[in-house]
Amino acid sequence: MNQAPSSAVRKPSPWQLALIVLVALAVAGGGWLAWVQYGPGNKTESAYITATVQRGDIEDQVSATGSLQPRDYVDVGAQVSGQLRKILVEVGSEVKEGDLLAEIDAETSMARVEASRAQLRSQQAQMTERELALSKAERDLQRQKNLMLEEATTTETLQNAETTVRTARAQIQSLKASMEQLQASMRVEEANLKFTRIYAPMGGTVVSITARQGQTLNTNQSAPTLMRIADLSVMTVQTQVSEADVSKLRSGMAVYFTTLGGQGRRWYGELKKIEPTPTVTNNVVLYNALFEVPNSNRSLMTQMTAQVFFVVSDARDVLMVPMSALTIQRSAPQGPRGVQAAPAAPAAPAVPAVPAAPGATGAGAPATTASPAVGEPERTTPTRPAVSSGMPRNEAAARPVRAPRQAKAKVMAEDGSIEERDVTVGVSNRVHAQVLSGLKEGERVIAGVREPERRSTTGQAGAGVGQTMGGPGGMPAGAAGGARR
């Protein structure tokens, strides 16, 4: 019998053909995706962090924290000792000048006044008696003089009559002085009697009461404080500014602040004064800067925390770019400054550029050269709401005039080519800078270089560091692991 040869070729099954087709499609798709993401057409643009030149507002500010205090206030105290019988107001009460606030027990003061009045009446009676005695002494002296003319009396008797008159007059003068002294003491006692009723020395709001009804007050050592009355229509913001920033402040400069519960509202004012004596806390030197704001609707309260922003300079609706996209030219001459302004933002060390991808085309594409130095990394601006309070800002306050500065910027064209330009900048802060010339709105500038992800390398490096440095507290790695077990 004839048998079929064993070397006959078998045909592939349908599922094997489908598997081969799927593998081929996966390989082709992965290649296409890699070409799109890492190909020469995308490598140059993805290697840089870019920012768009746009319009906006720039403020060079000095930020600090302050607290609110009423501009006008008075601590109401007691001038006489005694028991506090009544307190007729409470915290939050609105009072007018002359309103009765509290009463102190007046029995002791009233008794002293009555005793002084009785003593004064007694001295007035004594004065009447002394005046009658003086009249009698003067009549006796005149009689002795008449008798002496007729030689009907002796010289000694005449001299005694004269002495009696002088003595009576001296006693009257002494009694008058005693009466004046008693009247002065009585006025003091009457004033103390009036001080038992405490009146408001000014109009305002009772913001605190430190005494309690029924408390015994002792004014012999110091005047006890009963309450505080403040005029809340005008508030003073007391701000503590560090010694590094106080040189940027000047009287009359614009300043605004926000509060925690203000819902984005801003209150504007002008810097009034800077106290020359600093406050030193934990070796930190802080100077008090004061300014006032109106508070007609009583929305600001005592001891509120304020986030204060002193506007050193500003520019509205101007072209601006991130500071990280600029390299400030330190060698550029700077003109004189009329008012001291904030220092220029420092430029960070140069970051080497990623070389252009092979095959990149474009008339402006440079050769494989080092990237320009970029400024400091972009930072977030301080949290300050943009909602205005509706209060007018004082535009009359002088703004500092700073000479324009020269900088370098890298501009990326639409085709991915990079061009270096000279840029003139004006007002700047740590985040943005005003563009005076050299850039146009909508252009893209290089703000940084993307760093490739190195998760695996970082992990291995971390493991190596751990083995080299040992476990926590200087313990070997193995010892630390054993301790955890």
pLDDT in tens, the chain (485 residues): 444 444 445 666 777 777 777 878 888 777 767 665 555 545 555 678 889 999 999 988 999 999 999 999 999 999 999 999 999 999 999 999 999 999 999 998 899 999 999 999 999 999 999 999 999 999 999 998 899 888 888 889 989 999 999 999 999 999 999 999 999 999 999 999 999 999 999 999 999 999 999 998 888 878 889 999 999 999 999 999 999 999 999 999 999 999 998 888 999 999 999 999 999 989 999 999 999 999 988 899 999 999 999 999 889 999 999 999 898 887 544 444 433 333 444 443 333 343 333 333 333 333 333 333 333 334 333 444 333 343 444 443 445 556 888 999 999 888 888 889 999 999 988 899 999 999 999 999 998 888 766 554 444 444 433 333 333 333 333 333 333 33
Q: Would you call 270 exposed, middle or buried from its count of C-beta atoms within 10 A (0-12, 13-18, 19+)?
A: middle
Nearest to 286 by CA among 220, 240, 338: 240
Structure tokens at 423: 């840029």
Q: What is the DSSP letter of 138?
A: H
User: 3-class DSSP state for residue 355?
Assistant: coil
**The whole model's pTM is what?**
0.60
H-helix or E-strand containing 448?
strand 444-449
Nearest to 116 by CA among 162, 181, 72, 54: 181
Q: Which pLDDT value is given to residue 36?
A: 54
Q: Which pLDDT value is given to residue 23?
A: 79
70/302 Cα distance (integer angstroms): 7
Beta bridge partners of 94: 205
Q: Which pLDDT value is given to residue 198?
A: 94
Nearest to 356 by CA among 33, 19, 43: 43
Q: Which pLDDT value is given to residue 382?
A: 40
Q: Which pLDDT value is given to residue 7?
A: 46
